[in-house]
Amino acid sequence: MKKVILITGASSGMGKETARKLIQEGHTVYTAARRVEQMQELKTLGGHPIQMDVTNEADIQRVVDTIIQQEGKIDVLWNNAGYGLYGSVEDIPLEQARRQFEVNVFGLASMTQKVVPYMRKAQSGTIINTSSMGGKIYTPMGAWYHASKHAIEGFSDCLRLELAPFNINVVVLEPGIILTEFGDEVLKSLGQFSSAGAYADLTRRLVASTKKTYERGSGSKAAVIANTVLKIVTAKKAKTRYRVGRWAKPLVWLRTYFGDRAFDKLIMSQVQA
C-alpha cells in the first residue's frame, strides 16, 4: 500500500537518498529541510520539497498543516534532521550545545507532537527516529552529539509505550558510519572549537582519523539506509530498532559485552599519533 511520508533533513545524505527511493517505489513523499534548493531533484522525480527549519515551531506547524490539507493524513514520519557537534566539553560554548539539542532532540520532539494527533485519530502510523550507533557508544570530543543521540534513544522508548495503544509504531534507526556530509560537519566543528589549547593534540589526531575514514570510503553508502527505511515502511510489524551500516553492530556489541575500560582502549587506539 502506498503511503504519505514526511522526511526531515532530506536535502542531502541519508534523507535525500531514501526520499529518492521511496518516490521511485510510488509513495507520496514530502521532504523538509532548510536548503530547499538542494531538493529540486526530488521535485523532478515527483516528490514534494518544503522549506523548513526544524528549530522553528511555526515552520513545523506550516509543513504539517500543508500535508494534512493536501493529503488528509501522514502515514510515516521520519525524524531524520540532525548534525554532529564535536569539540571538547571545556571548549564548546553552551549556546552551541543547546543548539545541538534544539536540532537533534527538540526539533524531533516538536515534529512528533504535531504529527501524532493525526496518527492517533487514524489509529495508524509509523514514526522513525534517527539515532545512531552513537546513541549506544561514545567517541572522544563528541559529548554533546552523543548526549543528543542517547536522549533520542530514551525518548523513543517512552514514546513507543505511549503510542502502542493507538497502533502507532515507533522505530529507532541506528546508523553506523555512512558516507555523507557528516564527516565534514565533524571536521568543521573540531576546527572551530578545539584546534588550539589543551585539546589541540587530541583534536589533531581525531581530525586525521576522521579524514582517513571518510577519504578511504571506510563506511557504508546511504543506500543501505534507504533500503532499511523502505523495509520499515512496508513491514507488517517493524522491529523497534534497526542497526545498520559499517561498524554499527560490532561496536555496539563490544561496548555492551566488554565493558567501559576495554571500549575506552579500543576507541582511543583509533586516534593514536
* Percentage of residues in the chain having pLDDT higher than 70: 100
Res. 195: pLDDT tops 90: no
Active site residue 269: no
pLDDT confidence of residue 273: 61
pLDDT confidence of residue 194: 85
DSSP state of 105: I
Tell me the sheet residues that pair with 49.
31
Is the model more confident about 184 or about 42? 42
* Percentage of residues in the chain having pLDDT higher than 90: 91
pLDDT confidence of residue 4: 98
Give the tens place of pLDDT for each residue, 234-266: 999 999 999 999 999 999 999 999 999 999 999
Q: What angle do CA 82, 129, 143 make, to 5 degrees?
A: 50
- Return the beta strands (E) in the chain as ranges: 4-8, 28-33, 48-51, 76-79, 125-130, 168-175, 241-244
d(CA 24, CA 4): 13
Annotated catalytic residue, options 30, 88, 110, 131:
131
Active site residue 11: yes
Annotated catalytic residue, options 3, 11, 16, 214:
11
Give the tens place of pLDDT for each residue, 125-176: 999 999 999 999 999 999 999 999 999 999 999 999 999 999 999 999 999 9
Active site residue 257: no
CB burial readout 141-158, b (16+ within 10 A) else e: bbbbbbbbbbbbbebbee
pLDDT confidence of residue 187: 92
Q: What is the pTM of this model?
A: 0.96
pLDDT confidence of residue 183: 86
User: What are the structural domains of the chain?
Assistant: 4-269 (3.40.50.720)
Annotated catalytic residue, options 110, 148, 149, 242:
149
112 CB burial (10 A radius; 0-12, 13-18, 19+):
buried
Active site residue 149: yes
Average pLDDT, the chain: 96
Res. 201: pLDDT tops 70: yes
